Structure 1
Amino acid sequence: MLKVENLVKHFPVSGKRGAKVHAVDGVTFDIQQGETLGLVGESGCGKSTVARTVIRMYEPTAGRIELDGTDITSLSQRELRPIRPQIQMVFQDPASSLNSRMTVDEIVAEPLIAQRVVRSVREGRDLVREILEAVGLSKEHMGRYPHEFSGGQRQRIGIARALILDPKVVIADEAISALDVSVQAQVINLLQDFQQERGITYLFIAHDLAMVRHVSDRVGVMYLGALVELCDSEEIYRNPLHPYTQGLLRAVPIADPSPSARRGEASIEGDLPSPINPPSGCRFRTRCPLAQEICATVVPEMRDVGGGHQVACHMVA
């Protein structure tokens, strides 16, 4: 349903001629219909840039993006118009992603008007009411403003806006990170219900490893703009191969913090290198306890080590 090949996105640095931020460098993955791919990694690793480039909010520097068999990489905004209903996004902060001057019915009906499904909010009221009821809100909420709702309710409005065009692919970019734990569970259950009913494909971006394990069929791990490991969600927790993935999992808090229950050091040594001047070879080598000479000179390629488990590391046999 969604195929991304060698996706690259660089941003120029103002005031520094020729300098650029290597936000995403050569990311490749695919997602099947009805599947959920989780994307995890530290803040600043490029997860959100991948999301925004895939839906063409950002123009890709290089690479290929294919949606349901159609190459959308270099389509103009006019050519993208009939394709945009197929891929929608739920943003991280519902307080800032919803227009505070618009009522709920205006917010949710906006995609319908933009895609010329209806000509006005009044004409789309029945569709808006149906999708609001589907996400657990009612018609009484239609005339209210975003500030009159809780965080969880605002995120439901964001989900309704994303789903009203009946998309094939939904990108959830940290869609639950700003919510309370109990509300997170409600939103996740809501997304999963829609997936079962409509066969929606999800790209689920988060930093909560436990939540990603719960919702994802497969998990990809990003570090400094590159994908370093990709496999089945249970496999990546049971048998992490890349040193960075192992470090991330060791850093997850555990219920019994006693010394006997510790699973090794709970942190990754060193600081995250600058994306303006990333390390040569393997980008993780400056923080990796297993780094060898080859890691400084040769970029490790993503390779399948068996059972669909892909890893980019010279030290993995």
Structure 2
Amino acid sequence: MNFKSLRVYLEPTLRIAVETVDETILPDHEVLIEVHYSSLNYKDALSANGNKGVSKNYPHTPGIDVAGIVKDSKSDAWKPGDRVIVTGYDLGMNTYGGFSQYVRVPSDWIVSCPDSLELRDAMCYGTAGFTAALSVEKIVNNITPDAGEILVTGATGGVGTVAIAILSKLGYSVAAATGKATSAAFLQSIGAKTIVSREETNDQTGKALLRSRWAGVIDTVGGNILSTAIKTTQYLGHITCCGNVSSPEFSSSIYPFILKGVTLHGIDSVACPKEHRFKIWEYLSTDWAIPGLYQAVHEVTLDEVPEQLDLMIKGKHQGRTIVNLKNS
């Protein structure tokens, strides 16, 4: 069986190519999936640019998201024809990934696609939307909509846009932090009430505490922006942390935690337990479904993926982009 796959080479120089391969290239796992859709994430862009902290072995096929149909299974848990989703674990990192018309993965990595969710729609969310929903869950479980504004950093990214849209749907007042002034209208169209400049969320004073402003924060970038968020969160506020685009390191005194009772939640979408995964996908297909998202995403073919990954690395990508493997 031959099929198309995006391959990344580092020797003699970095090269990304869409090639026709055969199934012997796939790892020896239990379940063969025909991929209908994948989606673009920042990890994919890092992997496609040879980042050894994400993918150690090359040539490699990135793609940390898959939605498709089971074609063959050595596991009793799955049968041909099952509609499935795979996100997280090692998919697309050091295991052959979803920028391919077929993948073979361990049975335990797979969850059923909810009946009310189309495969394409699942990838409109993808890992970014799944991570956003995990973050929103922490906010919803601890903060009521009348408590005050929720700040979302990295607002134009995949996690940020989905988080804003879900929070807005659930009745929260959302402040969107971005360094892209031209994106204000877009952010307001998906539910942001306030647009906050990057400078406002990047304190340089070195103070341990600043004026309380946010009831909660969904931080997607890390670094000093996370530090500033901690300083400016209200009494008994909650902050989620899921990204390191700015920096994987941050500095904070203990005062926000012991004087204001601030809670910092780490968000892990990679090894999230299977039962919790399905629960989050059910939320995204029902109560947290975002009106209009499925039409608002940018859909590309496999041949167009390298250009989109380049935009992502350069910080010029906005919103969600899905990859149609059926028509590639």
* Greater RCO (Cα-Cα under 8 Å, separation 6 or more): 1
Question: Smaller-chain TM-score range?
Answer: under 0.3
Q: TM-score, with normalisation over the residues of structure 1? A: 0.25
Q: Which has the larger radius of gyration?
A: 1
TM-score, normalization by structure 2: 0.24
Higher strand proportion (structure 1 or 2): 2
